[in-house]
């Protein structure tokens, strides 16, 4: 799962530049470098509401994406193989409906080619360009769901249940075992809760963590 | 379980996808009077202008029905619903029983009934078969007129002008997009029309058409007689309710639905332009024919039909179009201004930028963003969720700001 530790972010925009470089296909004449950068990047560094801290913002690849409801051409679609929400740039006519329907403001505009841009997680490259470029380790690929290969028996239940196709059976030294693709994992926890062998552990969203959060909230509220 | 979906617009198609997410085995039948695969009406002007190929108007791929195990019945519309027997009757006389029925028949064009409106060469912008005929006609005509200054009419103007026709746009009201835009914002679009060599005539309407077989002249209310061989009418749509018996199903302007998109009769649902549903801004119910609203309603109707009870949060009016480089994004209500409303605005006529946000009691009521396309996602979010923005209103139009709630 790709996480952002925004406390460390200084807003250097290295991730934006790396993203633009990664997705740049041709240099159009008559445009400045900055214009080309702004119209090629698929993510951006923004300042959240009412605050001062910058943070990197990429597409969340939502479960029920509102941008998909918005698209009048069908250019926005969910890739059946990876579960990512992608755009067919040939079909996009630049009507900007998805732009305002997106809840997170992650959709970018390419005014040169007159279409929208959105994160494709650099397809098969792992980790994506923005994560590689970050000098402060703000963007990190973090293992959220850890599979214990001693306990895993390779039954494949998690593979059939994963909404993101992020967990797959692969040949390892110990035979067929479940392996998580951290690039696609959203940390939803379905695989962990379904595992009959209790082989998958969630590192962040444990019951204990949830309890601690509730207690902390109660403490703050002086109940 | 047999689901029958009437209509293959965004509401119908999203309902099918939502049902298939939950129910893999149920039988789905898609009935429609259209002879085409699911196609997108707002994209059709782009096809007229030659910006996209014919295949571009279809918003799902050709395998959609196979992939989702749907039985399509194309070119055979719904005529009657018999809720007592749980079946529907089609034009061909075919009777189809259902367990769950979704009415997503969308809208029909508002007619412009004047003398000579049946002549050849007069088309409504609501069907792909009309659009195909428009494209066939284009090489043989010189003068075209477009009636109606809504988003679809404006896009059609630019498309026809792009094909080298002399285009006149006749708008009955005093500005373009009179239902959604304030006069200042409309000015910018009007200027753009002027630059694209479209002749705009405000407060003008057609009283009658003249011609032999094909339309030749239009008589205007100003007393003028202008030549035209092609007329495109885009005066908006109204719910398509011909087959509904108001004694059986509760109907106002559209079919009245509750927050689960259910009509007054059990197991019958309605979604899209045909349904009259909750509006976030007014608190009442209304019909607004916009794409995202239809697809979202279809999605929620599908979820509820498949047994996953999920209330529909409601929608609000929104439009967005791109005007050859000048983008125009409107949400909520920017027309009404009352005492106590705060207006946050930014203007730069040179770069055709005009942005205004209307704030009522600290909450966004409407926004019109013309020219530049940032921040709209946050504004829409604030509007939808009715978030209190009084203390951050100065930063709403800042160029660097990104709004994450």
Q: Which has the closest alpha carbon to B323: B149, B127, B126, B123?
A: B149
Bridge partner residues of B359 (DSSP): B342, B364
Could you tell me if A48 lies within 8 Å of chain B, comparing CB atoms?
yes
Could you tell me if B20 lies within 8 Å of chain A, comparing CB atoms?
no
B204 vs B218: CA distance, rounded Å? 12
Domain B111-233 has CATH 3.50.50.60: yes
Q: Helix, strand or coil for residue A110?
A: strand
Could you tell me if A113 lies within 8 Å of chain B, comparing CB atoms?
no
Question: What contacts 24+ positions apart, CB below 8 Å, involve B190-193?
Answer: B191/B352, B192/B323, B192/B324, B192/B326, B192/B352, B193/B154, B193/B157, B193/B158, B193/B169
B259 vs B300: CA distance, rounded Å? 9
Domains of chain A: 2-140 (3.30.70.20), 144-220 (3.30.70.20)
ipTM over 0.90: no
Euclidean distance between the first and the last CA atom of chain A, given in angstroms as a whole number = 35
Residues in chain B: 405
Q: Check A109 against B373: CB less than 8 A apart.
A: yes
Q: Find the CB nearest A101 among B60, B380, B400.
A: B380
A100 interaction partners in chain B (CB closer than 8 Å): 318, 320, 329, 331, 376-377, 379-380
Q: How far is B117 from chain A (nearest CA, A)?
A: 30
Structure tokens at B77: 């519309």
Q: What are the strands, taking DSSP E only, across chain A?
A: 2-4, 44-47, 54-57, 76-78, 85-87, 108-110, 115-117, 139-141, 145-147, 167-172, 175-180, 200-202
Structure tokens at B140: 């043989």
pLDDT value, residue A222: 66
Confidence of residue A173 (pLDDT cuts 50, 70, 90): confident
Confidence of residue A183 (pLDDT cuts 50, 70, 90): confident
Residues A146/A200, Cβ–Cβ less than 8 Å = yes
Q: What are the strands, taking DSSP E only, across B162-279?
A: 166-170, 198-201, 206-211, 215-220, 225-227, 230-233, 237-239, 255-256, 268-270, 275-278
Q: Which has the closest alpha carbon to B373: A34, A13, A97, A87?
A: A97
Scan for tokens 């005009």, then name that residue.
Answer: B354
**Mean pLDDT for chain A overall:** 87
Q: Which has the closest alpha carbon to B195: B295, B362, B324?
A: B324
CATH number, domain B2-108+238-305: 3.50.50.60
Residues B328/B185, Cβ–Cβ less than 8 Å = yes
Q: How far is A32 from chain B (nearest CA, A)?
A: 18
pTM score, two decimals? Answer: 0.90
Distance of CA A59 to the CA centre of its chain: 6
Q: How far is B85 from chain A (nearest CA, A)?
A: 34
A198 vs B8: CA distance, rounded Å? 45
Q: Check B378 against A105: CB less than 8 A apart.
A: yes
Interface test mutation site (partner B, options A95, A102, A104, A106, max chain B beta carbons within 10 A) = A95
Q: Find the CB nearest B322 among A46, A71, A94.
A: A94
Q: Helix, strand or coil for residue A35?
A: helix
List of residues 6+ apart from B369 with CB closer than 8 A:
B327, B328, B329, B330, B355, B375, B376, B379
Q: Helix, strand or coil for residue B247?
A: coil
B397 vs B9: CA distance, rounded Å? 35
List of residues 6+ apart from A75 with CB closer than 8 A:
A87, A88, A89, A90, A91, A92, A93
Q: Helix, strand or coil for residue A223?
A: coil
Q: At residue A50, does pLDDT exceed 70? A: no
Distinct helix (H) and strand (E) counts, chain A: 8, 12
Residues B3/B27, Cβ–Cβ less than 8 Å = yes
Using CA atoms, how far residue A150 sits from A154, A161, A197, B114, B240, in Å, is: 10, 21, 10, 80, 62
Q: What is the pLDDT of residues A149-169, one digit of tens each?
A: 999 999 999 998 888 888 989
**199-238 of B, contacting A, C-beta below 8 A:** none
Domain ranges of chain B: 2-108+238-305, 111-233, 325-395
A133 vs A140: CA distance, rounded Å? 10
Residues B294/B9, Cβ–Cβ less than 8 Å = yes
Could you tell me if A97 lies within 8 Å of chain B, comparing CB atoms?
yes
pLDDT more than 90, % of chain A:
28
B127 vs B42: CA distance, rounded Å? 10
Q: Helix, strand or coil for residue A46?
A: strand
Largest separation between any pair of C-alpha atoms in chain A: 64
Q: Helix, strand or coil for residue B181?
A: coil
Please list the alpha-helical segments (H only) found in B270-386: 291-305, 376-385
pLDDT value, residue B399: 65
Please give the full DSSP string across A164-208, using - where no structure is assigned: TS-EEEEEETTEEEEEE-TTT-----HHHHH-TT--EEESSS-HH
Cis amide bond preceding A127, omega within 30: yes
Q: How far is B346 from chain A (nearest CA, A)?
A: 19
pLDDT value, residue A49: 64
Q: Check B377 against A97: CB less than 8 A apart.
A: no
Bridge partner residues of B330 (DSSP): B319, B368
What string of pLDDT tens digits covers the 405 residues of chain B? Answer: 999 999 999 999 999 999 998 999 999 999 999 999 999 999 999 999 999 999 999 999 899 999 999 999 999 999 999 999 999 999 999 999 999 999 999 999 999 889 998 999 999 988 999 999 999 999 999 999 999 988 899 999 999 999 999 999 999 999 999 988 988 889 999 988 888 889 999 999 999 999 988 999 999 999 999 999 999 999 889 999 988 988 889 999 999 999 999 999 999 999 999 999 899 888 888 888 899 999 999 999 999 999 999 899 998 989 998 887 788 999 999 988 888 899 998 888 888 888 999 999 999 999 999 987 767 888 888 898 888 888 888 878 876 555 443
Scan for tokens 């519309």, then name that residue.
Answer: B77
Residues B321/A95, Cβ–Cβ less than 8 Å = yes
Using CA atoms, how far residue B234 sits from A93, B41, B152, B231, in Å, is: 20, 12, 7, 10
Architecture in CATH for domain B325-395: 2-Layer Sandwich (3.30)
Interface test mutation site (partner B, options A59, A101, A108, A118, max chain B beta carbons within 10 A) = A101
pLDDT value, residue B405: 38
pLDDT value, residue A35: 85
Residues B69/B30, Cβ–Cβ less than 8 Å = no
Q: How far is A70 from chain B (nearest CA, A)?
A: 4
Domains B2-108+238-305 and B111-233 share a fold: yes
Could you tell me if A11 lies within 8 Å of chain B, comparing CB atoms?
no
């Amino acid at each position: 799962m790709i996480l952002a530790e925004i406390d460390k972010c200084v807003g250097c925009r290295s991730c934006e530049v790396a993203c633009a470089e990664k997705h740049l296909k041709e240099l159009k004449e008559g445009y400045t470098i900055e214009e080309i950068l702004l119209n090629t990047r698929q993510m951006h560094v923004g300042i959240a509401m009412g605050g001062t801290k910058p943070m990197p913002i990429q597409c969340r690849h939502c479960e029920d994406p509102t941008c998909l409801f918005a698209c009048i051409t069908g250019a926005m679609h969910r890739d059946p193989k990876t579960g990512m929400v992608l755009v067919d740039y040939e079909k996009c006519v630049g009507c900007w409906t998805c732009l305002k329907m997106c809840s997170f403001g992650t959709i970018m505009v390419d005014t040169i080619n007159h279409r929208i841009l959105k994160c494709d997680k650099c397809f098969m490259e792992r980790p994506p360009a923005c994560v590689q470029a970050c000098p402060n380790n703000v963007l990190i690929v973090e293992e959220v769901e850890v599979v214990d290969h001693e306990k895993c028996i390779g039954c494949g239940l998690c593979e059939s249940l994963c909404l993101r196709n992020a967990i797959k059976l692969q040949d390892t030294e110990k035979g067929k075992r479940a392996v998580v693709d951290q690039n696609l994992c959203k940390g939803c926890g379905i695989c962990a809760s379904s595992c009959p062998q209790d082989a998958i552990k969630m590192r962040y969203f444990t019951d204990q963590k949830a309890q601690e959060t509730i207690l902390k909230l109660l403490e703050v509220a002086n109940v | 379980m047999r689901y029958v979906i009437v209509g293959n617009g965004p509401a119908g198609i999203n309902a099918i996808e939502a049902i298939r997410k939950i129910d893999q085995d149920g039988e789905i039948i898609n009935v429609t009077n259209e002879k085409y695969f699911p196609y997108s009406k707002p994209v059709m002007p782009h096809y007229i202008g030659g910006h996209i190929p014919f295949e571009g108007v279809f918003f799902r791929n050709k395998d959609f029905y196979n992939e989702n195990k749907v039985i399509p019945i194309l070119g055979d519309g719904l005529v009657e619903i018999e809720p007592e027997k749980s079946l529907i009757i089609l034009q061909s006389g075919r009777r189809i029983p259902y367990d769950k029925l979704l009415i997503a028949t969308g809208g029909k064009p508002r007619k412009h009934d004047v003398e000579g409106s049946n002549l050849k060469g007069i088309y409504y912008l609501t069907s792909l078969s009309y659009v195909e005929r428009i494209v066939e006609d284009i090489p043989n005509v010189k003068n075209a007129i477009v009636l109606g200054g809504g988003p679809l009419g404006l896009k059609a103007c630019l498309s026809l002008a792009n094909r080298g026709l002399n285009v006149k746009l006749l708008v009955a009201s005093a500005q373009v997009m009179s239902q959604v835009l304030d006069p200042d914002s409309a000015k910018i679009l009007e200027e753009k029309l002027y630059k694209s060599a479209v002749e705009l005539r405000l407060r003008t309407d057609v009283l009658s058409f003249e011609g032999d077989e094909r339309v030749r002249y239009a008589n205007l209310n100003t007393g003028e007689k202008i030549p035209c061989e092609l007329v495109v009418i885009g005066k908006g749509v109204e719910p398509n309710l011909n087959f509904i018996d108001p004694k059986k199903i509760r109907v106002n302007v559209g079919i009245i639905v509750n927050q689960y998109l259910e009509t007054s009769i059990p197991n019958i649902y309605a979604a899209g332009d045909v349904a009259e549903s909750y509006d976030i801004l007014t608190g009442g119910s209304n019909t607004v024919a916009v794409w995202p609203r239809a697809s979202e309603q279809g999605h929620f109707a599908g979820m509820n039909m498949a047994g996953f009870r999920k209330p529909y949060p409601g929608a609000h009016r929104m439009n967005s179009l791109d005007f050859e480089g000048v983008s125009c994004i409107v949400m909520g209500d920017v027309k009404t201004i009352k005492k106590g409303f705060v207006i946050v605005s930014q203007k730069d006529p040179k770069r055709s930028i005009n942005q205004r946000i209307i704030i009522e009691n600290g909450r966004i009521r409407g926004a019109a963003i013309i020219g530049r396309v940032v921040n709209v996602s946050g504004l829409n979010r604030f509007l939808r969720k009715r978030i209190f923005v009084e203390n951050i209103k100065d930063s709403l139009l800042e160029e660097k700001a990104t709004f994450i709630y």
